[in-house]
Amino acid sequence: MHPTLAADLDRLPELLQSVRDFAAGELSGIGERPASTARKAPDPEPLPATGVGAQGALERFARRWQPGFSGSAGPRYLGFVTGGTTPAALTGDWLTGAYDQNGSSAGGSTVDALERETLGWLRELFGLSEAHRGAFVSGATMSNTVGLAVAREWLGERLGVSVSRAGAAALGPVDLLSGSPHSSITKALSVLGVGRDRLRPVPLLGGDREAVDVVRLAEELDSLNGRPAVVVANAGTVNTVDFDDLRAIAALKERYDFWLHVDAAFGAFAALSPAHASLVEGLDAADSICVDLHKWLNVPYAAAVQFTRRQDLQLRVFHNESPYLGPHTGTPDFLHLTPENSRRLRALAAWFSLTAYGREGHAEIVERCIALARRLGEGISAVPGLRLLAPVRLNVVCFTLADGPTPERLGALARAVADSGEAFLTPTVLHGTPALRAAFSNWRTTEADTDRVRDALARATRELFTDPITRE
Ligand SMILES: *Cc1c(COP(=O)(O)O)cnc(C)c1O
């Protein structure tokens, strides 16, 4: 063994203590650390010929890289839809690395059963029936990709071809209908050989809504003259967290032949709030479902789940036969269900958090985030120069400048807030109007944090756009 490696092995307990102290320091200060950083990355250094040992590496990391890391795990990073890591999830994640189990199959361990137990809990959390089977994947993009891969195989079944054998071309042109799909849907269509251009946008309800017009969806399906299609319903859009009417869409299955995939990346968590659970009524009727976990479950990157009622088709797409893997019988191993073969045991962090806080603890995070988004929405409505672009439907506040909302002016506002260190928000465009979004999905965020975000926005708006001295 290399002497530096041997020395690290000898002092592994001390090393773990040292990194524990470092992480504890970082996390106890996360609330005051700037939400984002505009620092430049350090100059590249050459590959070390002689290593410095793990303690030396920690010191170098602290010197070179730590200053540029953002506070994205903290309470006022409201860009995109960014979760955090609950204490229990971090515990599980640390152990995931420590055990370093391969979650591909049993492989002489019970890790596959732990993943199945966790999947069962998540299924229950989101109100899904046992007809849904699932697996952990790396994020909602991958979950959507897996769901649409199963949809593609189903189209083959309907048309009498095996896509997993003959290829996507055997299907001919595929019709995928959706109202406000996430960008990862078109990415998935590209990856799957269906093609980005096969997405047929369906008109929305109008006004500030991002939900699909189900009447128009029915007309589109009708125009296919019986050709099977894929419908992607959206349960929680990123701009305004709007929800398609899942029950009404599912009811169309009585008349039309389509696979229903629901992207509920973070919207599925509405099921944890009695006042909002009706938004995801009908979710169980989906043929495949995407739920992200590194967002509102607050487990570390990279984790999501996919569920489907047709695990038999999923197995056809992803099965991985080789004599060295042995025969597969009964419950399929995860390597026959997901794009990866070897897999990180992502389920362990979720298992820890669900075990530690239960349904009630996670429901409290969801309820609090919703209340805080409302609070910020009300605060922003009262800030001169800002206005909401849509009501706060769940956990995202979508707003813009009352006068002259150009991408440049909104970019300047977002930058000023980020430079203050107080918060991080990201830009978007809603029905042609440039806007900013503040998404609440971190377990740490409090009312005081929310008021700081409102104050930072009010200050920056005043200084940039209304102060007579600096007025443009
Ligand atoms: C975040 C998100 C995705 C993509 O998730 P990743 O985890 O970034 O891959 C897909 N759909 C919706 C609705 C999302 O919010």
Mean of the pLDDT values across residues 43-62? 97
Q: Whose CA is nearest to atom 12 of ligand 1?
A: 265
Arch. (CATH architecture) of 102-344: 3-Layer(aba) Sandwich (3.40)
Tokens 């869409």 sit on residue = 249
Q: Do the domains at 29-44+53-86+358-472 and 102-344 have one common CATH topology?
A: no
- For 177-214, give one letter per residue: b (16+ CB within 10 A) or e: bbbbbbebbbebbebbebeeebbeebebbeebbbbbbb
Among the atoms of ligand 1, which is closest to the Cα of residue 238? 15
Cα(466) to ligand 1 centroid in Å equals 36
Among the atoms of ligand 1, which is closest to the Cα of residue 80? 1
Mean of the pLDDT values across residues 90-95? 98
Cα(299) to ligand 1 centroid in Å equals 15
Q: How many residues does the chain have?
A: 472
Among the atoms of ligand 1, which is closest to the Cα of residue 267? 13
Pocket of ligand 1 (CB under 6 A): 81, 139-141, 144, 182, 184, 236, 238, 263, 265-266, 292, 304
State residue 469's pLDDT score.
59
Among the atoms of ligand 1, which is closest to the Cα of residue 236? 13
Cα(31) to ligand 1 centroid in Å equals 25
Q: Is the pLDDT of residue 145 over 70?
A: yes
Report yes or no: 470 and 464 within 8 Å, Cβ to Cβ: yes
Q: CB 332: neighbour CB atoms within 10 A?
A: 18
Q: Return d(Cα 112, Cα 347) in angstroms, integer.
A: 9
Q: What angle do CA 138, 312, 135 make, to 5 degrees?
A: 20
Mean of the pLDDT values across residues 140-164? 98
Cα(304) to ligand 1 centroid in Å equals 9
Q: Whose CA is nearest to atom 10 of ligand 1?
A: 140
pTM over 0.95: yes
Mean of the pLDDT values across residues 224-253? 98
> Which amino acid is located at 205 in the chain?
L
Cα(463) to ligand 1 centroid in Å equals 34
Pocket-testing residue among 80, 82, 141, ligand 1, by greatest number of atoms within 8 A of Cβ: 141
Structure tokens at 337: 């269900």
Taking only the tens place, the pLDDT of each residue in 435-446 is 999 999 999 999
Mean of the pLDDT values across residues 450-472? 86
Q: Whose CA is nearest to atom 13 of ligand 1?
A: 265
pLDDT band at 65 (very low <50, low <70, confident <90, very high): very high
Among the atoms of ligand 1, which is closest to the Cα of residue 264? 13
Which range is least confidently modeled, 33-47, 207-221, 317-331, 360-374? Answer: 317-331
Tokens 């042995």 sit on residue = 326
Q: Is the pLDDT of residue 123 over 90?
A: yes
Mean of the pLDDT values across residues 75-102? 98
Among the atoms of ligand 1, which is closest to the Cα of residue 141? 9
Among the atoms of ligand 1, which is closest to the Cα of residue 139? 7
Cα(74) to ligand 1 centroid in Å equals 20
Structure tokens at 472: 């443009």
Determine how β-strand 258-263 pairs with β-strand 288-292: parallel
Pocket-testing residue among 210, 292, 298, ligand 1, by greatest number of atoms within 8 A of Cβ: 292
Report yes or no: 115 and 124 within 8 Å, Cβ to Cβ: no
Q: Return d(Cα 272, Cα 277) in angstroms, integer.
A: 7
Cα(139) to ligand 1 centroid in Å equals 7
Q: Domain extents for the chain?
A: 29-44+53-86+358-472, 102-344
Taking only the tens place, the pLDDT of each residue in 333-364 is 999 999 999 999 999 999 999 999 999 999 99
Mean of the pLDDT values across residues 210-239? 98
Cα(186) to ligand 1 centroid in Å equals 12
Q: What percent of the chain has pLDDT over 70?
A: 98
Among the atoms of ligand 1, which is closest to the Cα of residue 142? 9
Cα(265) to ligand 1 centroid in Å equals 6
Cα(184) to ligand 1 centroid in Å equals 7
Q: Is the pLDDT of residue 370 over 60?
A: yes
Cα(291) to ligand 1 centroid in Å equals 8
Residue 465's contacts (CB-CB under 8 Å, 6 or more residues apart) are 385, 401, 403, 409, 413, 471, 472
State residue 67's pLDDT score.
94
CATH T-level assignment (fold) for domain 29-44+53-86+358-472: Aspartate Aminotransferase, domain 1 (3.90.1150)
Among the atoms of ligand 1, which is closest to the Cα of residue 292? 7
Taking only the tens place, the pLDDT of each residue in 305-314 is 999 999 999 9
The secondary structure of 150-161 as a DSSP string is: HHHHHHHHHHT-
Average model confidence (pLDDT) across the chain: 96
pLDDT band at 468 (very low <50, low <70, confident <90, very high): low
Pocket-testing residue among 72, 78, 182, ligand 1, by greatest number of atoms within 8 A of Cβ: 182
Cα(295) to ligand 1 centroid in Å equals 9
Q: Whose CA is nearest to atom 5 of ligand 1?
A: 140
Cα(296) to ligand 1 centroid in Å equals 11
State residue 106's pLDDT score.
83
State residue 328's pLDDT score.
66
State residue 472's pLDDT score.
46
Mean of the pLDDT values across residues 396-421? 97
Q: Whose CA is nearest to atom 14 of ligand 1?
A: 265
Pocket-testing residue among 184, 187, 269, ligand 1, by greatest number of atoms within 8 A of Cβ: 184
